[in-house]
Structure 1
């Protein structure tokens, strides 16, 4: 091999952690300072787009010979679950669970206030939930008529999240928020679109494979059951949404924002 030729498999230089932190602070401040209408619309768009992941899960369950517990089906479900996140993150819409880390770091750096953080969280969260609600209504009304989704698959997806003890929802929600906060950090550190696609798929497919409660994608999943099944009540939905949301916020803010900010400002390289 000619030594002058570039090595295709050479490892690219990683972005220093201080630069990652500075980039996250800059991005977080940009979002915090955005107009209210822009945040709401971006959050609404994300709530719509993320619904394609749960919808494709329903398609896989309808067409597959297997179900939950079958390895092949579980891997397929986890893979298609990530599709909604790819649409949202690469499309640069606002997702509440990303901001459990992204918007917290400027507050830790004393460049933004808790009030500004609460404003951003509230606007994005409302947009995400309303967008997910509209997507779910469209999916359960229109998709079964196409013959690729059965109402039973919608119900099965919802039951997978609401059939657990309430404390499980909170604890597992922490892990989901932790992974989403880590995703925000890794995407910032990544070089190139392909590497970002791979990171999004790995992290969100992990959430799907472990059946962790993600408050925004799970909003769509549980609403499937509310609209389809009499056995899943609005109270089940509210319990899921509240505990998953609190868990996600704790996971992203504590296990990623606080810890990574702390180790960087104390001299990590």
Structure 2
């Protein structure tokens, strides 16, 4: 009996000590550590490095590759307007219809992003990060080359797509009418208002690019939500909006000067401010000390 009573006091403290040990100090197995690592979201410096390397790869591409990729993006993004028109054509004019038709706006962006085509507003962050990391004349030149080539190619794609929809029987007169009605909003604002309305769109596209590396299987939802908000919020995107502006131009509802001076110029400034001056700079500021 004595030996039995002496045995229990020596065993109890070990259980008490284990129970009192904080959870953060409990050792875990190697497999559990791997599970923790696999389930953790990437830290901001990791995402920064992924996006920066994407930008470096894009700046290193030859001009001909950038041109054809940008042209493909311009053609693809034009399906946003077409999809919106299809939805609007088959929905009754209710107060919630714009919320549903705005889902069509995401179609072109899904094609562009998932196909890795060159879209100008994506490059307002991917190209800027490597320039800020290594501020040199060579990097500035490569970034400027990419911006000019991609933007021109995007416009060439949307110009061709809008002409195709305007002058061929591929699109029915009823559907073309809906496309033109949807497009009218891009020229409904003054110059300064267009700049302001373009800033959130640039910010949202840059945020989308930042979120994609950690999205794993959720890339589609991120693209849809971010671009849906641009359309539903009435914000202005330089490339998708150019397809709408060119539709108005071909229809005679807007002149060339109005399209380029009243839409493209202010919206380009606003998108760059939102994507580069705001999001990209804030992104770099939050990780620059850690990257050093």
Q: Above 0.5 in TM-score?
A: yes
Return the alpha-carbon distance in structure 1 between the equivalents of residues 223 and 71 of structure 2: 20
Change (3 A) 1:143 1:173: farther
Query: 2:11 matched to which residue of 1?
Result: none
In the TM superposition, what are the counterparts of 1:1-269 in structure 2 within 5 Å? 12-66=39-93, 70-110=94-134, 113-142=139-168, 146=172, 149-151=175-177, 153-192=178-217, 195-228=218-251, 230-238=252-260, 239-267=262-290
Residues 102-139 of structure 1: CA deviation (Å, up to 9, x unaligned): 10000010066211110010111111000111111111
Change (3 A) 1:111 1:143: farther
Return the alpha-carbon distance in structure 1 between the equivalents of residues 172 and 282 of structure 2: 48
Instruction: State the Cα distance separating 1:145 from its structure 2 match.
Output: 5.0
* Matched-pair contact (CA < 8 Å) for 1:18–1:264: yes
Change (3 A) 1:94 1:206: same
Instruction: State the Cα distance separating 1:75 from its structure 2 match.
Output: 1.3
Instruction: State the Cα distance separating 1:163 from its structure 2 match.
Output: 1.1
Residues 72-123 of structure 1: CA deviation (Å, up to 9, x unaligned): 3111221000000000000110000000011000001006621111001011
Return the alpha-carbon distance in structure 2 between the equivalents of residues 12 and 200 of structure 1: 22
Return the alpha-carbon distance in structure 1 between the equivalents of residues 129 and 140 of structure 2: 11
Worse overlay, 102-111 or 88-97:
102-111
Worse overlay, 55-64 or 179-188:
55-64
Dislocated runs of 4+, deviation >4 Å: none
Instruction: State the Cα distance separating 1:176 from its structure 2 match.
Output: 0.8
Larger radius of gyration: 2
* Number of residues of Structure 1 aligned to a counterpart in Structure 2: 251
Change (3 A) 1:143 1:164: farther
Instruction: State the Cα distance separating 1:214 from its structure 2 match.
Output: 0.2
Change (3 A) 1:148 1:257: same
Instruction: State the Cα distance separating 1:141 from its structure 2 match.
Output: 2.3
* Matched-pair contact (CA < 8 Å) for 1:104–1:117: yes
Instruction: State the Cα distance separating 1:189 from its structure 2 match.
Output: 2.4
Instruction: State the Cα distance separating 1:144 from its structure 2 match.
Output: 6.6
**1:120 partner SS:** helix
Change (3 A) 1:12 1:142: farther
Task: Give the number of the structure with larger relative contact order, counting CA–CA contacts within 8 Å between residues 6 or more apart.
Answer: 1
* Matched-pair contact (CA < 8 Å) for 1:62–1:150: no
